[in-house]
Amino acid sequence: MSYVLFGDKGSGAFCVEASLAEAGALVAFHEISLEKDEQRSEEFRALNPSGKIPALKLPSGEIVTETAALLFLIAERHPEANLLPPPGSPERGQALRWIAFMASEIYPMIEIADYPERFATDHKAAAALKLSAKQRIRGRMLLVEAAAKGESWFLPGGFSAVDIYAVMFSRWRECRENGWREAHIPKICAMAVALSERPALKPVWEKYFPLG
């Protein structure tokens, strides 16, 4: 039986599908259109009451949400994919640390930057909030960049789910605009090149980021 991934091409579904591709797992993709606001529909909220994507239906039928949790779960269910360093190793601790950091410090700011009107009462306040969120995202991405210790990957030991997660944020608008990422996070840009060339992940990369 396969997994069922509910998501959209502009969402965190990338990191889930990429991780499952590395694991060689079968995945059926069910599009939930962000443009049409389908993630807030009654039908989807029956799967995830928070109205956010992605959501993953496991082969056993359970629904699991939250991208960081899904990265950890896939790594646990598919240890052969080496998505995380071995339990108890120093690199394992750093991997968990930085995935948790991005999940708590960057991901919430993405929603604010994309939908400031949900958090502000008027147009002027929404515009100021959007700018503040974008600056916060970029500042936090600079911390991730500084923490990267590998040559082509975040960890010195090689590829991990941290790379998938960090690269995903770097491809979104807040980091993409005006050449900011190329000028400020070159190590994460190098991770993106390395990710795009991994055989198992290449089709997923081309699906989500056809322009690179």
Domain boundary at 27, 61, 81, which?
A: 81
Q: What is the CATH number of the domain that holds 123?
A: 1.20.1050.10
Looking at the structure, tell me whether residues 105 and 194 fall in a common domain: yes
Looking at the structure, tell me whether residues 72 and 128 fall in a common domain: no
Q: Structure tokens of 34?
A: 């962000």
- Domain residues for the domain of 114 are 90-198
68 within domain boundaries: yes
Residue 42's pLDDT is what?
A: 96
Looking at the structure, tell me whether residues 185 and 128 fall in a common domain: yes
Looking at the structure, tell me whether residues 76 and 100 fall in a common domain: no
208 within domain boundaries: no
206 within domain boundaries: no
The structural domain count of the chain equals: 2
Looking at the structure, tell me whether residues 74 and 120 fall in a common domain: no
Tokens 């990429």 correspond to 18
Domain boundary at 81, 111, 132, which?
A: 81
51 within domain boundaries: yes
Residue 211's pLDDT is what?
A: 82
105 within 8 A of 172, measured Cβ to Cβ? no
Over the chain (212 residues), the average pLDDT of each successive run of 10 is 92 98 97 95 96 97 97 97 96 98 97 94 94 97 97 96 98 95 98 97 96 76
Residue 126's pLDDT is what?
A: 95
Interacting residues of 178 by C-beta distance below 8 A, sequence separation 6+? none
99 within domain boundaries: yes
Looking at the structure, tell me whether residues 72 and 96 fall in a common domain: no
212 within domain boundaries: no
pTM of the model: 0.95
Looking at the structure, tell me whether residues 35 and 120 fall in a common domain: no
Q: What is the CATH number of the domain that holds 62?
A: 3.40.30.10
Looking at the structure, tell me whether residues 105 and 157 fall in a common domain: yes
Looking at the structure, tell me whether residues 8 and 44 fall in a common domain: yes
Which secondary-structure segment (H or E) carries 64? strand 63-65
Residue 1's pLDDT is what?
A: 62
Looking at the structure, tell me whether residues 132 and 187 fall in a common domain: yes
170 within domain boundaries: yes
Pairing of strands 27-31, 63-65: unpaired
Task: Give how far the C-alpha of residue 140 lies from the chain's centroid of Cα atoms, to the nearest Å.
Answer: 15
104 within domain boundaries: yes
Looking at the structure, tell me whether residues 9 and 100 fall in a common domain: no
